Structure 1
Amino acid sequence: MKTTMFKRSVLTAGIVAAMSMTAANAADVVYDEDNAFSVTNKATATYTVANNTTEQKAESNEVVVNVTETGAFSLVAKNDDGNIGDDLNENVAINPSSGSSVDFSHTLSNDGNISDTYTISLANPSNSLPASATIKYQIKEGNTNVGNSETIAIGGTITLKPGQTADLTITATSNSDRVIGHNTSFTVTATSAYLTNKGQTTADKRATNTNNAITTTPVYAITKSATTNLNNKIFDTNNANAYVDYTITVKNEGNIDGTAVKITDALPAGLVAIKTGEDNYIAPTVVASGTSTAKDANISTTGKEITVIGQDIKMNETITVTFRAKKDTTTPATGTNITNYALVEDDVDGNGSFDLVDSSGDDADTSVSEKTYEDTTATNYKGKDSNSNATITTSSQTRNLTVKSNTLDKEVALISQNNTYIYTITNKGTDITEAASPDKVYFTVVPTVDDANITINEAEVFVDANDNGSYDSGETVLTKTNKGYDLNEAAKSGLAPDEFVKIGVTVNTNGSGSNLASGTNNIDDSETMAITVLPQGPVAGTPAPANTSVSSTTTMKGVSLLKYQAVAACKADLTTLSWTSDPISGGEAKPGNCVYYKITAENTFTDATNVISGLIVTDTLETPKIEYEKDFSSETSGSSLAATATYSKPNLVATFDNLAANETGTIYFSAKISQTGSTNQP
């Protein structure tokens, strides 16, 4: 929120100094107010987590009481971009098609004690947004509408009485197509006539918000793969029972859900889908990840086409289609290789026709003309397709490597070392020894969802030879190469069928837990890492099996420390107070009354073994502006003991012996507001 400045001409130098403010950082315009000062407060904490002796730290949000009367206005952005109430409507969705419109919402508030008129202007458009715009507003008093909704031109005015607000909706229209993630923006400014007449500078009479729209569209990463009945890419046309299992995965890597998507696989010459009642028949399946609901896959009467119609694919979710095909006796396969492609179509602009067309073969599929809204100029762009694993060779050893984890997910402290994951790599093939020599099979350990404060210890990937789940002296530490870790180094003479090797990976964390606006809070931040087995090529003439992978997620947990405040007459009943973490001004915020503080410390771990011990919460009061009332109290949400407290001016120190997982400890106390920030009581 862009706020106006204090009017220094009506404040004495002593008042400005007592408030620790300058005209460049005050919150509102203030007129004819004496003896004003502010109270600023925050809390800190230290603690340890079970099985971890490293001291953890937490910092609360900062709370402010301005003991003053104010007059001001504000313009705040309120689209739901995760930061409602700031000066930025960020990443508001707009369709990629030309002529699409987008609404930006704002609230203009007269927080002063005089009526005022505000001029609304737009400026600095980028990427032709807005090509045109309309401005509508509705005046309100509290939640009650005043009059009817009105429309003004750009540069028009809105008049508000004290305490009134105006809900603004600015509708902007674009004039060109764009690719996913294309950002466009412009500013909206409200200029106060009252402050202009008072001779305020440009910065002191204006409030400015930025409206930012991001192009939203589904984009689909299509992966097509095939495996024959021999568990490889060899399709024996002389075998009447030979078949091919096809898998199509369609992931929506866009920034909006896909709806009513059509997925098609047209089989090439030489193949036909196996239908009900025929040998080796398995029903085609459609599996949806996450919360998407799978539709049915349909085989055409000729067996030459498989379709999924009306399929919704939510963001970052995947639809997997599998079906089985056999030799087409009416049109036998010719040549060495058989390749076919999957096609995805979506009605992105909602006009009733498929305007997004994406083939798993991209340019190699000459049967379609693609339109994907993908930014193919970007490195590792979203929506990249792969059809490389869908080609079968027309012509029995089998190859099959699996990887599993004994623990997929862990909750760990914000600062921790040597959190160990164990993975088992097994040869499930027949008649072939895997990794019998170097450079035949590698595996990688990489983050798929990366976090800067969570680190995979790549220098300590080891063989857990004694199967105790941790690294011990003498166990083999593997060497990382540009291809990953060589399975031969781990398995020595290789893995015969049904043999396995256990691989250990350690993860370290270095997070922080601050709820202060200027701080960083890494609680609940996580990193997902995948261990992927990468066969490098054929062994004894049998092609490499598909890469296989398993993922584990590390989530940082700790104490979330939050602070709230209320102002009322001293010795008030705590149950009657209205707690807030926002600044408090005017009203009961006056000398002689008390500021009540509530601090909550939540153990965010969900694993019952992660008990927080020795939690010390320290609150430094801003004396002599406020003086501790010696009324400390505490409670917990579970069975742990409440905190005990000591006070040595200006520090109040509260100690919880323990906090169980998911348990919250709360402390309460108050401090009396002094006269003009001094030790003189009224």
Structure 2
Amino acid sequence: MKSSTFKYSVLTAGIVAAFGLNNITNAAESTAASTPTIKNVASATYKIGTVAQTAVQSNPVTVNITQSAAFSLTAKNDDDNAADDYNRGLTVTPKGRVTFSHTLTNSGNVEDTYTLNLAQGGTIPGSTQDASSYDLDTTNVTYTIYNADDSVKSTTTVTGTVFQNTNITLKPNEHADISIAAKTAGNVGGDSQNLTLSATSEFFTNADTTKATLTNIDNSITKVAVFKITSKVNSTLNLNDPSSKVTYTVTVRNDDTAPYAAAANNIVVFDGLPEGLRLADQPNLSVSNNATIVPGNEGKGTSNSNDSIRVTLLNLAPGETATITFDVQKDQAEVLADPKNTINHASVSLNLGENQTIYDTTDSTDTKQNTANFYPAADDSEVTDGTVSTTTGSDSAAPLVANQRAVSISSPTTKGIPTTTDDTTQVTHSAVIRNTGRETEGDQLGEIKFTITEGTNDNITQIPNTVEVVYDADDNPATANTTYTVTKDGNGDYDLSTAVPKNGGAAWTGMAPNSSVTINYKVESTQAVIDSTEKTTVTLVVGGQDAPSTGARSVENTTVVKGLKLVKQQALNETCDANASLVFTQADVAAKPGDCIVYKITAFNNFANSDAGFNFTDLVITDTTARFNDKAQVLTSSTTPAFAVKLAEVDNANDSPPNNTYGAAAGSTAISGTVPSLDPQKYAALIFSVKINPDGAAPGSI
């Protein structure tokens, strides 16, 4: 999300006619100006090794020479892209409500009136829009106007329909927060809906109609919990023995294989037993996930016995499963109609608000089931042949085994990575599995497994087929370790029992007591954002006979994107003296014609000293002269006044370059210089000066 911004200088008619209008578009920022305002941004490119990294822009710095008119419309919701003017990818339930936030700001020096409108649709690059939309009649819009000191001036709430053609008048530095509680219509899971908010300036309508309207596009993705319900019974029921009982296990999974799955809170699970069954005298009611389970008399039978269970306060994130168990007996007061084919059904309901409740059940004949209103076609079905449970009646005999097992995972890593990697700059993360028990671990299939789960940063990814484990049998540095490769199975698990030795090493026979295995895997980056991170979770999965339940089961490895930091500063030099004492700032500077502005651009390699191999090469620092054309004169050693262009390494972020070590120069299109190499934690700075034209600035926006 980002604001769209329009600017217009308040000048006399003669000056406007002389200067004209010049429009520059930078990312999602639109600017209209006739302005002697200098807004300056530096840029830089660089490589690590031979790989070009993501280009970097400095912060903007602004010199305000005259008054100007400007306004912006900002999309305020957090989303996956802070550099656009969209509220993108907010989640909403089917026929639900989602709130979009915007701010309209008068950042100029003149009072202005803005006409606001909502429209269905709007194009967001790279996104699709489905037929579903928003119901403006039931959408609520609240706009609050703030004085320049941020005190509330007024608050108004109307429907989306009434909101059309709403006029808001803002004095300079006043703003209005606009909150749109948008009600969706006709949407099911996975659908995408767009809504366009526009603001039209009366000032710009009179000055330049083509620049009078700003828009933000709101986008919501319909997400909803997707329930996978199973009901299984553990054994047969002996009808000749009134005390015979069986255990039912009901599992409810929030199925994350659906791309639109969302977290669900306060789920209700109900199981009403078929006629002829009741809860056992001691039902052993159990439920996971900190939910609440209570018995009841709401089943299919007619006796007074408890024959149902109800689970409440159940919360499930996508991928989570809740397990419910209870014991059942024959109800001697009732007839069991079909002893050979009695099916126990379970149902799930979830109140989504807005008078929308999902009802899902294992019973395809239940007329209350309404999942078609919430899921795409074919995303819900029922089978009653038991294919989801284990084979009934299988026999097994096993010797008594006494195990004392203890396994844990530890030692997470944090690594720095460039914005873009090649084979030489990928990083390796690790985690350590330790066997502190008395049994051999990982020699049996399913006994010791681990998973590697990536986070949400798609620009930093695990490299496939790079997982290796290093076995340390005795924690003795003098003893050679053995490296094995492990391949992910169809369930996404790495099973130690399938480890294959590298380079002719010994075959895998499991982890002896007091041994360890170090898991290693590689990570790469592509066009990642500096200072962004990726959290990768390595989870230990322990199974088999007498699996231990204590000990750490996961670690979180962190990848931090490092690279070039570029900071632009400016200083006012009223005397244009090359030896003047200067105070640099990133803030706006007020100047007048004839003053000089000194610019300093500081580049920093923010890789740690311990990050070997991450020195920058061919670091090109550039500031284009198009930003100064007809507004200011770029000074050099040969101009009057004289001010040398310098580029050199400096000790810290506050220092200015003492000389022009790297031969920076002011050309016809840019002030530029190249630093051949910049090591981690080192700085380089470029400095130059401009003199504002004595006659004031000419057209153009910088």
TM-score by length of 1: 0.64
Distance 1:249 1:614, change over 3 A: same
Cα shift readout 1:568-623 (whole Å, capped 9, x = no counterpart)? 5568898xx8757xxx57569994355577878767x9xxx967798779783649
Cα shift readout 1:538-593 (whole Å, capped 9, x = no counterpart)? xxxx9xxxxxxx8775432253665555555568898xx8757xxx5756999435
CA distance in 1, matches of 2:329, 2:507: 40
Alignment partner of 1:208 out of 209, 212, 215:
215
Amino acid across the alignment from 2:327:
A
Q: Does 1:524 align with 2:533?
A: yes
Alignment partner of 1:509 out of 507, 523, 540:
523
Distance 1:654 1:373, change over 3 A: farther
- Is the Cα contact below 8 Å between 1:191 and 1:207 reproduced in 2? yes
- Is the Cα contact below 8 Å between 1:338 and 1:391 reproduced in 2? no
- Is the Cα contact below 8 Å between 1:339 and 1:392 reproduced in 2? no
Q: What residue in structure 2 maps to residue 75 of structure 1? A: 73
CA distance in 2, matches of 1:234, 1:272: 15
- Is the Cα contact below 8 Å between 2:115 and 2:165 reproduced in 1? yes
Q: What residue in structure 1 maps to residue 117 of structure 2? A: 121
Q: Does 1:348 align with 2:352?
A: yes
Amino acid across the alignment from 2:691:
Q
Distance 1:479 1:162, change over 3 A: closer
CA distance in 2, matches of 1:572, 1:273: 87
How does 1:22-171 map onto structure 2 within 5 Å? 23=24, 27-31=30-34, 33-34=35-36, 37-42=38-43, 61-68=57-64, 69=66, 70-81=68-79, 86-97=84-95, 101-125=97-121, 127-132=132-137, 137-142=143-148, 143-146=150-153, 149=156, 153-170=163-180
- Is the Cα contact below 8 Å between 2:656 and 2:685 reproduced in 1? no
Alignment partner of 1:185 out of 185, 194, 199:
194
Q: What residue in structure 1 maps to residue 264 of structure 2? A: 258
CA distance in 1, matches of 2:382, 2:572: 61
Cα shift readout 1:325-347 (whole Å, capped 9, x = no counterpart)? 36658589986787645432222
Q: Does 1:369 align with 2:365?
A: no
Q: CA deviation at 1:357?
A: 1.7
- Is the Cα contact below 8 Å between 1:463 and 1:478 reproduced in 2? no
Q: What residue in structure 2 maps to residue 321 of structure 1? A: 323
- Is the Cα contact below 8 Å between 1:527 and 1:553 reproduced in 2? yes
CA distance in 2, matches of 1:562, 1:66: 20
CA distance in 1, matches of 2:416, 2:399: 44
- Is the Cα contact below 8 Å between 1:61 and 1:563 reproduced in 2? yes
Distance 1:235 1:411, change over 3 A: farther
Q: CA deviation at 1:493?
A: 11
Q: CA deviation at 1:88?
A: 1.6
Q: CA deviation at 1:453?
A: 3.9
CA distance in 1, matches of 2:326, 2:511: 27
Amino acid across the alignment from 1:507:
Y
Distance 1:633 1:658, change over 3 A: closer
- Is the Cα contact below 8 Å between 2:295 and 2:310 reproduced in 1? yes
- Is the Cα contact below 8 Å between 2:274 and 2:344 reproduced in 1? yes
How does 1:614-653 map onto structure 2 within 5 Å? 620=621, 622=623, 624=634, 648=660, 649-650=663-664
- Is the Cα contact below 8 Å between 2:224 and 2:374 reproduced in 1? no
Distance 1:28 1:111, change over 3 A: farther
Amino acid across the alignment from 2:286:
P
- Is the Cα contact below 8 Å between 1:224 and 1:247 reproduced in 2? yes
CA distance in 2, matches of 1:408, 1:423: 9
SS of the equivalent of 2:205 reads: helix
Cα shift readout 1:400-457 (whole Å, capped 9, x = no counterpart)? 999967458443342435545677999x99xxx967xxxx999897757685643344
CA distance in 2, matches of 1:589, 1:339: 88
Q: What residue in structure 1 maps to residue 4 of structure 2? A: 2
Amino acid across the alignment from 1:211:
D
Distance 1:175 1:521, change over 3 A: same
Distance 1:643 1:148, change over 3 A: closer
Cα shift readout 1:74-93 (whole Å, capped 9, x = no counterpart)? 22222344667952222345
Amino acid across the alignment from 1:346:
L
Give the percent of matched residue pairs that are identical in Structure 1 and Structure 2: 17
How does 1:266-277 map onto structure 2 within 5 Å? 266=272
- Is the Cα contact below 8 Å between 1:456 and 1:505 reproduced in 2? no
Q: CA deviation at 1:675?
A: 0.4
Cα shift readout 1:150-190 (whole Å, capped 9, x = no counterpart)? 866523433333333333344544444x3134222222222
CA distance in 2, matches of 1:655, 1:384: 66
Q: CA deviation at 1:273?
A: 5.5
CA distance in 2, matches of 1:502, 1:336: 51
Q: What residue in structure 1 maps to residue 562 of structure 2? A: 559
Distance 1:211 1:505, change over 3 A: same
- Is the Cα contact below 8 Å between 2:414 and 2:429 reproduced in 1? no
CA distance in 2, matches of 1:496, 1:148: 69
CA distance in 2, matches of 1:187, 1:314: 33
- Is the Cα contact below 8 Å between 2:191 and 2:221 reproduced in 1? yes
CA distance in 2, matches of 1:635, 1:552: 36
SS of the equivalent of 1:114 reads: coil
Q: CA deviation at 1:106?
A: 2.5
CA distance in 1, matches of 2:135, 2:52: 49
Q: CA RMSD in A?
A: 6.4
CA distance in 2, matches of 1:377, 1:567: 60
Amino acid across the alignment from 1:205:
A
Distance 1:268 1:589, change over 3 A: farther
Amino acid across the alignment from 1:141:
N
Q: What residue in structure 1 maps to residue 294 of structure 2? A: 298
Amino acid across the alignment from 1:412:
K
- Is the Cα contact below 8 Å between 2:237 and 2:244 reproduced in 1? no
- Is the Cα contact below 8 Å between 1:196 and 1:205 reproduced in 2? yes
How does 1:392-407 map onto structure 2 within 5 Å? 393-394=392-393, 396-397=397-398, 406-407=409-410
- Is the Cα contact below 8 Å between 2:416 and 2:611 reproduced in 1? no
Q: What residue in structure 2 maps to residue 662 of structure 1? A: none
Distance 1:498 1:657, change over 3 A: closer
- Is the Cα contact below 8 Å between 1:93 and 1:216 reproduced in 2? yes
CA distance in 2, matches of 1:601, 1:494: 44
- Is the Cα contact below 8 Å between 1:219 and 1:382 reproduced in 2? no
CA distance in 2, matches of 1:417, 1:84: 27
CA distance in 2, matches of 1:385, 1:163: 66
CA distance in 1, matches of 2:225, 2:596: 60
Amino acid across the alignment from 1:556:
T
Distance 1:309 1:529, change over 3 A: same
Distance 1:14 1:83, change over 3 A: farther
Cα shift readout 1:206-240 (whole Å, capped 9, x = no counterpart)? 211112233354433446667x5xxxx78999998
- Aligned residue pairs: how many? 599
CA distance in 2, matches of 1:521, 1:382: 46
